[in-house]
Amino acid sequence: MRFDFVKCHGSGNDFPLIDARRIDLPDEDWAGVARALADRRGPVGGDGLLLLAEGTGDAAFAMRMFNADGSEAETCLNGLRCVARMGFEALGIDAARVRLKTSSADVVRDADIAAGVYTVRETAGPAALDVAAWPLHAGVERIVEAAVPPLGSARSFTAVAMPNPHLVAFVDAIDEAELVAVGERCEAAPDWLPNRANVSFVELRGRDDGSAPGQALFVRTFERGVGLTDSCGSAMAASAFAACLTGRLAYDAAITVLNRGGLVRATVARDAMVSLSGNATWEWWGSVEVDPATGNAGGLTVAAHADAEIAAWARLADAAGR
C-alpha cells in the first residue's frame, strides 16, 4: 500500500504524518505502518507515526499517534502541533478542538516564536495526579516529590498524567545512564506498572533564552515505546506542571522549556491546564510503499524539501543552546 506523507517535527520530535481521513485500515495495520516508517534503519525514520483523522462531535479533526514499537499513545503534544497544522491547512481554519485517544485538546495558530517558524499553541489537560488510573500500583493515591518504592531508585518523583503517564524527577545535573536505567525498568512493563510510563529528568535553569523572562527548564526524557528521545511534548508539559506544583516555578507565568531538540513556551494554569506554544515544522514531502503485515517499507519518493523552514528552525534551535 502506498502512502503520501509529510516528514515534520515539533521541537525536534520528528514524525512521518499521514492524512488518514479517507484511509480505512484496522489498528493492527496502522501499528505495522508505524513500525515500518518510524524505523531509523528504514527509508523514512522517526519517533513514531502521526495520523490526521476525522473529527467527531465538537472536534474539527482528530489525532492518532503510534510509537515506534507500534503501540498507540494517548497523546503526543509535539506531534499534535504538526497534526494541527495539517488540519488547519486542510480545513481552512486557524483554531480547533482536536480529539485525542482518551481526551481532547485545543489548538490555535499562534504568532511565530521566531521568523519563519510556523507556531501552534496547544492547551491540554487537566494534568492528573491519580496514579491508580495509569495504573501504578505503589500503595498510594498520588506521588509528589516522593520515592516510588517498586522502581528501585532513591530519586524523588512526581507522577503526572498528561494524559499519558509521566514520572518527573528534578535533578542538579542529568545523568543519562541513570535515566535510561530507570526508563528501562518502566519499559519492561512490570506488574506494578503494566502500561509503562515516560520518565524525565529535569534541570531548573536560572536563565532565559532572550525572549521569555524568568527561569527555564531543561528536560531529558526516556519515552515509552521510543527510548531516550531528544524531545517529548507531553513530558515538557508534565515537567512544567510538576515545577509549578512543587513550588519551583510560578503558575500563570511564561516558562521556557528547553530540550535537545529546541524549545517551547509553556504556561501552567492553576486549574492544571497546560499550554505549550511551539513549532510545527515541515521538512519534506514524500510517498512510500508499506506492507503493514510485515512492517517493511520501500520505494521512497521525495517530492520536495522545505529548506526555508528547516533553516528557520535551525537558527532558533542554535540560539536556544540546542
Q: What is the pLDDT of residue 261?
A: 79
Q: How many CB atoms lie within 10 A of CB 300?
A: 13
**Cβ-contact 165, 195 below 8 angstroms:** yes
Average pLDDT over residues 119-144: 95
Question: Hey, what's the cell of 313?
Answer: 528552525
Q: Which amino acid, residue 170?
A: F
Active site residues: 76, 232
Please state the pTM of the whole predicted model.
0.86
- As a whole number, mean pLDDT of residues 140-159 equals 94
pLDDT digits (tens, 9 = 90+) for 170-204: 999 999 999 999 999 999 999 999 999 999 999 99
Predicted pLDDT of residue 321: 61
What does 168-215 look like in DSSP terms, one character per residue?
EEE-SS--HHHHHHHHHHHHT--TTSTT--EEEEEEEES---SSS-S-
Per-domain residue ranges of the chain: 2-106+280-319, 131-272
Residues 6+ apart with CB under 8 A from 44: 5, 7, 16, 37, 38, 286, 288, 297, 300
Examine the pLDDT at 214 and tell me if it is beyond 80.
Answer: no
CATH superfamily of 131-272: Diaminopimelate Epimerase; Chain A, domain 1 (3.10.310.10)
The domain 2-106+280-319 is classified under which CATH number: 3.60.10.10, 3.90.1150.10, 3.40.50.300, 3.10.310.10?
3.10.310.10
Domains 2-106+280-319 and 131-272 equal at CATH topology level: yes
DSSP conformation letters of 41-61: TSSS--SEEEEEEE--TT-SE
Cell triple for residue 171?
Answer: 535533578
Residue 260 — pLDDT band, cuts 50, 70, 90? confident
Q: What is the pLDDT of residue 210?
A: 46
Q: Measuring CA to CA, how many Å separate 80 from each of 172, 236, 300?
A: 30, 13, 25
Cα–Cα distance for residue pair 228/157, rounded to 1 Å: 18
Calculate mean pLDDT across residues 298-322: 89
